[in-house]
Amino acid sequence: MKYYSTNHQAPDASLEEAVVKGLASDKGLYMPEAIKPLPQEFYDQIENLSFQEIAYRVADAFFGEDVPAETLKQIVYDTLSFDVPAVKVKDNIYSLELFHGPTLAFKDVGGRFMARLLGYFIKKEGQKQVNVLVATSGDTGSAVANGFLGVEGIHVYVLYPKGKVSEIQEKQFTTLGQNITALEVDGTFDDCQALVKNAFMDADLNAHMKLTSANSINVARFLPQAFYYFYAYAQLKKEGKADHLVVCVPSGNFGNITAGLFGKRMGLPVKRFIAANNRNDIFYQYLQTGKYNPRPSIATIANAMDVGNPSNFARVLALYDNSYAAITADISGATYTDEQIRETVGEVYRETGYLLDPHGACGYRALSEGLFPCETGIFLETAHPAKFLETVEGIIGDKVEIPAKLQAFMKGTKQRLFDERIAFRNRYLIRKEGAKVQSNYPMVHRRGGLNSYFGLVYIKNKKVPSQQRAHY
């Protein structure tokens, strides 16, 4: 399978090249040249298959030409070591609980799959070190960091916006050590994402470091997210509820809903999709007007959706051949304020006992307001509500039980590590963007003309003491 760039100015790439590079040389996102429909017999029997069996069939359609069958099967089965149940909340509204993985967020699926697939390609190429760059507004960082933790030959750098992720989310990727480095950027998620994208275009940086991305811009991160859409359909079909299925996706960078749209193109019987936004409603405004106007993101209590310039919008356009009419035929939108999100979390908890997280609340509310009588809706509950503890407890006025997995992360402490590769990363951050970077790790200092750049690097608002600088 070949992959083309959404900007159409870069050579086509193999799956291996697309995964290892992450971003095309023209800054475009890779797209598969073909999307293979799955046979009708698969859909006829889908309710009798396990999550892993379903996912392998989908993975084979995407990756089967490039990865040996047994290797691909092992990657899929190792990735999906947890369930993704569809839980009835009220009437014809179901929650697809994507928070039963290691970091209790939907990105465990894509993060774990990518870690295993990239590891396979690294061994195949004989690479000694690949550096994974990832920008996070919350759950991506923890899912990717934990997915790659301890993987030989891979070092992960997580960029996250200062003060804009929850304490639990931050602990999940800043306490790991080993091959994980966290960098706190004094800016927004969009700033972090721009730094990652631009890093791939810096020839000097790439001469020193083999780079790839683990954001949803990487095909190995976003395509596996299609797995759980098929499994959701299978579960609802088993209950006789799948005939007029509407899927609502809390949307930020749009990798998640794009994976669902790929599923629909493969024949998955979804009637329509709803993209639920918080106040960062760029895509909602596009659906209303046909004009795409990115803008700086706004901080909200549904922080993983705080994206002002969704990368995967380019894939949506490519999938629909830039047809506004075709996009709006399949996707509608909704947008909610923090007040409306709080209202929804509280009402649903009081009426049903089901506890939503702020992102899932957007999905639930969009279905409750937009379903027709004959339709069944399922929304993606993208993270466990305990990951937003203060917000959720403040809404419901009650204590939220913290799962043991999260409690283990909360006991960790931020680690300070020395690693010369950080020098290249922060050299890039400072030289290219002038951003102020705060890190959980002491910076290292490179000899030869870069002193002025490192004068701008701070750790916890303090300049790095000279005795903590490592020269090479």
Residues marked active site are found at: 107
Distance CA 307, CA 372 (A): 30
Q: Any idea what DSSP says for residue 224?
A: G
Amino acid of residue 358: P
Q: E strands within 186-324?
A: 211-213, 245-250, 272-277
How far, rounded to the nearest angstrom, does the alpha carbon of residue 425 sit from its chain's CA centroid?
A: 22
**Residue 262 near residue 226 (C-beta atoms within 8 A):** yes
Q: Compute the chain's Rg from CA coordinates.
A: 21
Residue with tokens 């002025």: 452
Angle at 84 between CA 83 and CA 89, to 5 degrees: 130
Distance CA 210, CA 206 (A): 6
- Residue type present at position 40: Q
Length of the chain: 472
Is the separation of the CB atoms in 361 and 348 below 8 Å?
yes
Judged by DSSP in three states, 98 sits in coil
- d(CA 212, CA 133) in angstroms, rounded, equals 6
The C-alpha torsion from 370 through 372 and 378 to 381, rounded to 10°, is 20
The burial class, CB within 10 Å (0-12 / 13-18 / 19+), for 317 is: middle
